[in-house]
Structure 1
Amino acid sequence: MLTKVAPTVRQRATSLLRTIQNHSGACPCHACQSGHFGSALDAVRKLASAPPQKEYAFELAASNIRYGNGVTREVGMDFKNLGAKKVAVFTDKTILNLDPMKNAIAALEAEGVQYEIYSDVRVEPKDGAVKDAIAWAKRTAPDAYLAVGGGSVMDTCKIASLYESYPDADFLDFVNAPLGKGRPIDKKLKPLIAVPTTAGTGSETTGTAIFDLVSAKAKTGIAHRALKPLLGIVDPINTRSMPSQVKSSSGLDVLCHSLESWTAIPYYERVPRPTNPLLRPAYQGANPISDVFSFEALRMTVKYLPRTVKDPEDTEAQEKMLLAATLAGVGFGNAGVHLCHGLSYPISGMNKGYKHAGYAVDHPIIPHGVSVAVTAPQVFRFTGPTNPDRHLQAAEVFGADISNAKAESAGEILGEAVQKFLIGLGDQPRGISDLGFTKEDIPALVDGAMPQNRVLMLAPNFQHDDERKREDLAKILEASLTY
């Protein structure tokens, strides 16, 4: 049975406008005189040029989550239950020889599940590394995927799975616009189970995958609900091998995920309203469901992150941070992030040679959590005027006294609270100058941030023309040189 799809108001107006313009001398409805014809033409033109409608709905999408000490040993049964005959296992060179990977492989072998391992995932991957993973997945042709590692492993696995299912797609087809074509994913992908080994990205819950696009000197990625794993195996035991610096930097990602999604524009302020639910973005703006996850993740991070950094034996704090990362993943995976992340992409992509301590890699690296947090104090000073109540509620979580706070001071209060928290963690860059950037680099960093429309559009106090946006980004970066 065929179903007629109702055209949008703009489509109807455009169609009517074409009809009128092509008609030689009369209104197509009543053959009215030219005066009436001109009025009708003006009315239709006005309708066709009407501003896009605001969103009116939001959707919640997240992976199934299994949480508990030791649940990695169940992953073999999960793939057997799925009927998987060959599993592609993604990891990196470090995790390959650690307990999380050993336990996952033992679980597969216990159930007789066949597998092949791809261990060449790069931490903070560039597009070339991602393309290598895609090529391997196409050659391997598995019927299911397993990712064991941090956000880079999970994101690389997601992208490899996507392009293996679309073998004829160009690499930029699904990459977020305007750097890529932003093509929607219109088929079901093969099942993917994600086992995080860091407490940071929340990638086990989301349909987002990030990488460096070298030609643009910035991070970008792919975001679509179809990318989210079928199941996230959230096993606190798997995070115990993290070095202190990795705990700190990955925890900063949780901090910014929760704060940015909590302060993002409301979902009903986002434009345009999609013409089809398939086109509704993964990042939709703050909404009543994401708020619950984001705010609880913020409370847990403020309480437990300092403990995980200062005491490697504090297993309770490690378990809570892993749970906070997952909660924040559900929150930002539906609400989205904004300026901290938008600015972080060029900061990482234009790294001049900075190598963060504690990372076992042979190349310069600005960890993602570091790149997002380094501008956070100034970002929330900037966004404060748009929603003082939310900023003050967040500041109170950090311990700020808001009993007599004025609305116009909300941004400064939260910015100061975030800054104090970052300094208290210790061994973190105090501004982008510690990463090697100078005032002369700011125009290039702004150029790198401007294409990140997917996240910038969700930033409060940022709904202006491009020239004003560039000015605002430059001011935030200049104020973030040092603190």
Structure 2
Amino acid sequence: MTTSASLAIVAPRQMIIGGGSLSRLGDLLKQFGFSRPLVVTDPWMQSSGTVEKCLAPLRAAGFAPVVFHETVPDPTDTVIAAGVAVLQAGDFDVLIGFGGGSPMDTAKAMAILAAAPAGTPMSAFKVPVAADKAALPVICIPTTAGTGSEATRFTVITDVARDEKMLIAGLGALPLAAIVDHDLTRTVPARTKADTGIDSLTHALEAYVSKRANPVSDMYAERAMRLIGPHLRRVYKDPADDAAREAMMLGATLAGLAFSNASVALIHGMSRPIGAHFHVPHGLSNAMLLPAVTGFGLNHALPRYAEAARCIGCAAPSDADQVAGAKLMEELRALNHELEVPSPAAYGIAQAKWNALLPVMAEQALASGSPGNNPRVPDAAQIMELYVEAFGA
């Protein structure tokens, strides 16, 4: 954990949190002096009419919003380029990312790419490059309790030509503001609740054990785990549980603030290649890896993992670290079982293709930089072993 007295902490300038807070969107834009919003969302939000929940308060405030709805799961550099073309063809002064992680990540990447000279590829911004410039400010409005993108300085974009999920980090990806309204999660399917919920738990856990953790990120991570731990199963089983939905939404945002300031680690580094090569949703690929990767690093940061277990609620305050660590491993396996998380094998991934891609996935995981934050830093061979362990029968 970082103990230096000097910390650089980043967060959106304003966050409006609570049920019904989306109604304040128009006032938020006026407060910052914006008048020409481009709303970035996905095809389902558009076709189902759900995007109207975002557009209605804008129109009521006198704005005439334009919608770009061509985002895709695991956003690609080609979609970002298409979005930038729409952005530059109009006269906009703010981007609004409305939806799950994909629309929010797309809006952030559009803002970054639009600030670059024409013809610059999205790959020019992948880590270790600092993507600190953006053409327009971004306001994020999450509709799932999971990615935390509304609070982070990160966006993840797939390079289509290379089948690589690129981590892009910098102040250009940090939203100016966010609206976190748990009422927007009422109709989220159970599978998505599970995947995004485990994603947010992974954010908090990895931020807590990261070598870049600090006292401020710890406060966010601990509170996030205390909210997510008791409520993830509840929100998965009962969509009408308003208290659980509210807790999960706040927990996801706090987890986003935690990993934005401490970074993620090995789970995320290994998860991105699975998404790129096999199109597994990000939260689900995290869940597939969570027990095996946690076990790999457990004894290298046992006091931190033990305290995480106490925060999550699966270990008692009086449990010794070794006992709490063992209970954490039991909890992660039980959580995957109860939330019906499939192994890669059960998901339908062919073992021959998985094995053939092991060297490439290990290389891409290491190149992301995230494994270097892990309590136990692996080499390529150890990452491949972990992929084999996680594959399942």
Aligned pairs (5 A) from 1:425-444: 425=339, 427-429=340-342, 431-435=343-347, 436-438=349-351, 441-442=354-355, 444=357
Paired position in structure 1 for 2:330: 416
Q: TM-score, normalised by structure 1?
A: 0.75
Structure 1 counterpart of 2:288, which letter?
A: V
Paired position in structure 2 for 1:49: none
- Report the CA distance between 1:127 and its aligned residue: 2.1
Structure 1 counterpart of 2:388, which letter?
A: E
Closer/same/farther in 2, CA of residues 205 and 338 from structure 1, 3 Å limit: same
Aligned-residue CA RMSD in angstroms? Answer: 2.4
Closer/same/farther in 2, CA of residues 262 and 80 from structure 1, 3 Å limit: same
* Distance of 1:189 and 1:324 partners within structure 2: 30
Paired position in structure 2 for 1:470: 380
Closer/same/farther in 2, CA of residues 186 and 231 from structure 1, 3 Å limit: closer
Paired position in structure 1 for 2:251: 324
Q: Is the 8 A contact 1:202 1:329 kept in 2?
A: yes
Paired position in structure 1 for 2:40: 90
Q: Is the 8 A contact 2:266 2:293 kept in 1?
A: yes
Match of 1:115 among 52, 65, 72: 65
Structure 2 counterpart of 1:473, which letter?
A: I
Secondary structure of 1:146's aligned partner: strand
Answer yes or no: is 1:241 the counterpart of 2:187. Answer: yes
Unaligned segments of structure 2, at least 5 residues: none
* Distance of 1:482 and 1:398 partners within structure 2: 27
- Report the CA distance between 1:447 and its aligned residue: 2.0
Overall identity of the aligned pairs, in %: 30
Secondary structure of 2:338's aligned partner: helix
- Report the CA distance between 1:257 and its aligned residue: 0.5
* Distance of 1:318 and 1:97 partners within structure 2: 25
Aligned pairs (5 A) from 1:327-346: 327-346=254-273
What is the count of residue pairs matched by the alignment? 386
* Distance of 2:78 and 2:223 partners within structure 1: 37
* Distance of 1:130 and 1:328 partners within structure 2: 26
Answer yes or no: is 1:59 the counterpart of 2:8. Answer: yes
Paired position in structure 2 for 1:102: 52
Secondary structure of 1:59's aligned partner: coil
Q: Is the 8 A contact 2:37 2:65 kept in 1?
A: yes
Structure 2 counterpart of 1:155, which letter?
A: D
For the pair shown, which has the larger CA radius of gyration, 1 or 2?
1
Q: Is the 8 A contact 2:143 2:185 kept in 1?
A: yes
Aligned pairs (5 A) from 1:374-389: 374-389=288-303
- Report the CA distance between 1:402 and its aligned residue: 8.1
Paired position in structure 2 for 1:454: 369
Closer/same/farther in 2, CA of residues 164 and 188 from structure 1, 3 Å limit: closer
* Distance of 1:300 and 1:480 partners within structure 2: 27
Match of 1:159 among 87, 109, 130: 109
- Report the CA distance between 1:406 and its aligned residue: 6.3
- Report the CA distance between 1:191 and its aligned residue: 2.2
Match of 1:168 among 118, 121, 132: 118
- Report the CA distance between 1:184 and its aligned residue: 3.1
Q: Is the 8 A contact 1:236 1:318 kept in 2?
A: yes
Closer/same/farther in 2, CA of residues 195 and 402 from structure 1, 3 Å limit: closer
Unaligned segments of structure 1, at least 5 residues: 1-53, 266-284, 352-364, 463-467
* Distance of 1:157 and 1:84 partners within structure 2: 16
Secondary structure of 1:457's aligned partner: helix
- Report the CA distance between 1:186 and its aligned residue: 5.1
Structure 1 counterpart of 2:330, which letter?
A: E
Aligned pairs (5 A) from 1:201-280: 201-265=147-211
Closer/same/farther in 2, CA of residues 406 and 240 from structure 1, 3 Å limit: closer
Match of 1:308 among 210, 231, 235: 235
Structure 1 counterpart of 2:58, which letter?
A: L
Secondary structure of 2:125's aligned partner: coil
Could you tell which deviates more after superposition, 117-126 or 149-158?
Answer: 117-126
